[in-house]
A and B are shown apart, each in its own frame.
Chain A
Amino acid sequence: MKTSSLDRLRNGLVLLLVLTGLWQVLYWCVGDVALRSPLETFGYTAYLLGSARFWPNLVETAQAFGLALVISVVMGLAIGFTLGLSRIANAVFEPVLVSSYAIPKITLYPILLLMFGLGMSAKVAFGVIHGVIPIALFTTDAVRHIRPVFLKTGRTMGLSPLEMAWRILLPAAMPEIFAGLRVGFSLTLIGTLLGEMFASQRGIGYLLMNAIGLHNVDLIMSLTFMLTLFAGAASVILLAINRRMQQRT
């Protein structure tokens, strides 16, 4: 299936229009108790962006998410390279990774909280356990499909494991690894937010949980809207980069 980028842009715009339309219709059906119209939500979002109490929370979430993402990527790549290069390690550990992918990680939250205590580190840890597994799995698969001659060349030249990863594995398997990073990016974001919803006094997730408690529909709507917009936009951008990479190879 080949679609040009122009087609894709048009499809995206149509989809956005349809979704906004559905939102408006739903608002007409349900009314003010539970929903706000798109226009009101945009208005409140603008107000929120202008208010002083919003920004410290955003910074807090951004820090937690950034840290979690860095740790997920480094750990995921390390695990992926190890499992991808060693057949035995792969046979032993890959099923463990696949199974742990299926566990509802939200249930592990109490354990993490008891281990790390309330605050930043628990949030980061929660983001990491969500993000690291897909990155590791995608990387393992990507490394396993690298042409053997590249690896042999590296070994002949006596590269150290670190050089091997940096100069051969990463460039050779980049498009596939990047697909994993894209999935890892969104899961880390979800994990961090969930972490904030349960045990935090700051951050977007905390604001959302607080808004649920206070039945502040305006706040719930605009936070949901912003999160969806951010996650969707990031995903679309990463997907476009990934497509370009795949075309080049």
Chain B
Amino acid sequence: MKPAAIWRTAFLGALVALLEVLCLTGRIDKLTMQPPHQIIIDLLRMLSAGTLNLAILKTLANSFLAFGLAMVTGTAAALVLHRLRAVRDALDPLFATYYAIPVFAFYPLLIILFGLGDTPEIFIGFMLAVVAVIVSVLSGIDRIPRVLLKTARVHQLSTWETARRVTLPCIAPYILTGAKLALAYALIGVIGAEFIMSSSGMGYEISFAYMNFDNATMYPLILLIVLASVGINMVLGRWERLLMVRRGLA
């Protein structure tokens, strides 16, 4: 382990220890927060009892569905947009300002359109994620060395073969960058939507527990979401760095 990683672990450990002490001595009272060790015990008990497994599964499934849809649509859209210069130029201002728009403000409209259920949640996750994919893939395509495309033409590869053998392998690191962002956005979208208005899922369970002062359910769920999102993000980040290093880009 590198020294920086040791310091980081020590810092995070100290933070948790501080919380533990503050909670145990009663500086943070029991109604506000439980001591960290209690949260972990509650989390393990919750997972083994399986009472909320359905909600957890539903949220994760919806997030992955939104993520998958965004990856496929986003990559395809980027490949097409790259060919259509005029359309791309016209959409440029939209991409530049897209993440400034509070997408959650559209959630009520989506509920009215699709009804309260999985569809509007997945749609919000998808809407948040797809633009990140398009932008990263486009910037990847822009950076494909000309000579590779020329080689493909010399070998008379078809459009499909060029895409499969040259373009896609070449932009793999950029797709991964997009995937990292997209997964975070999909989770944010789905859980946020569940929070605002829904009848199931982790976001719903957290807000339900919050309203009932049920800290034994709320904190473990929050911890689970934090661990899941940070964990997935770290794995994808490491993979991305590996690809970049192999290409000599990092």
Closest Cβ of chain A: how far from B114's Cβ, in Å?
A: 9
**CB neighbours of A217 from chain B (8 A):** 112
- Whether the Cβ atoms of B197 and A103 lie closer than 8 Å is no
- Whether the Cβ atoms of A224 and B222 lie closer than 8 Å is no
Which residues of B183-222 are within 8 A (CB) of A? 184, 187-188, 191-192, 195-197, 202-203, 206-207, 209-210, 218, 221-222
- Whether the Cβ atoms of B99 and A103 lie closer than 8 Å is no
- Whether the Cβ atoms of A106 and B195 lie closer than 8 Å is yes
Q: Once bound together, how far apart are the Cα atoms of A112 and B93, in whole Å? A: 35
Closest Cβ of chain A: how far from B156's Cβ, in Å?
A: 30
- Whether the Cβ atoms of B237 and A98 lie closer than 8 Å is yes
A104-B225, A224-B105 known; A99+B97 contact, CB < 8 A? no
A88-B4, A103-B226 known; A239+B97 contact, CB < 8 A? yes
Instruction: Report which of A91, A99, A223, A231 forms a contact with B100, defined as CB distance below 8 A.
Output: A231
Interface residues of A, dominant DSSP: helix
Q: Does chain A have a CB within 8 A of B50? A: no
- Whether the Cβ atoms of A186 and B99 lie closer than 8 Å is yes
Q: Does chain A have a CB within 8 A of B7? A: yes
Instruction: Report which of A95, A104, A113, A220 forms a contact with B188, defined as CB distance below 8 A.
Output: A104
Q: Does chain A have a CB within 8 A of B164? A: no
Q: Once bound together, how far apart are the Cα atoms of A95 and B234, in whole Å? A: 9
Q: Does chain B have a CB within 8 A of A43? A: no
**CB neighbours of A56 from chain B (8 A):** none
Q: Does chain A have a CB within 8 A of B32? A: yes
Please name the residue on chain B nearest to A220 by beta carbon: B108
Q: Once bound together, how far apart are the Cα atoms of A8 and B112, in whole Å? A: 35
- Whether the Cβ atoms of A11 and B100 lie closer than 8 Å is no
Please name the residue on chain B nearest to A212 by beta carbon: B108
Please name the residue on chain A nearest to B102 by beta carbon: A190
- Whether the Cβ atoms of A107 and B233 lie closer than 8 Å is no
Q: Does chain A have a CB within 8 A of B91? A: yes
- Whether the Cβ atoms of A208 and B105 lie closer than 8 Å is yes
Q: Does chain B have a CB within 8 A of A70? A: no
Please name the residue on chain B nearest to A19 by beta carbon: B94
Which residues of A223-249 are within 8 A (CB) of B? 223-224, 227-228, 231-232, 234-236, 239
Please name the residue on chain B nearest to A204 by beta carbon: B105
Q: Does chain B have a CB within 8 A of A33? A: yes
Which residues of A129-165 are within 8 A (CB) of B? none
Among A47-55, A166-174, A193-201, the one that faces the other chain is A193-201
29 cross-chain CB contacts under 8 A? A7-B89, A11-B92, A11-B93, A34-B112, A35-B113, A92-B7, A92-B11, A96-B8, A96-B12, A100-B230, A102-B180, A104-B229, A105-B188, A106-B203, A107-B195, A107-B221, A110-B206, A110-B210, A114-B31, A211-B108, A220-B109, A224-B106, A231-B101, A232-B100, A232-B101, A235-B96, A235-B97, A236-B93, A236-B96
Chain A residues with CB under 8 Å of chain B are 3, 7-8, 11-12, 14-15, 18, 30, 33-35, 88, 91-93, 95-96, 98-111, 113-115, 183, 185-187, 189-190, 193-194, 197-198, 208-209, 211-212, 215, 217, 220-221, 223-224, 227-228, 231-232, 234-236, 239
Known: A93-B8, A95-B8, A186-B101; 8 extra A-B contacts, CB below 8 A, are A15-B91, A92-B7, A107-B203, A183-B99, A198-B195, A212-B197, A231-B100, A232-B97
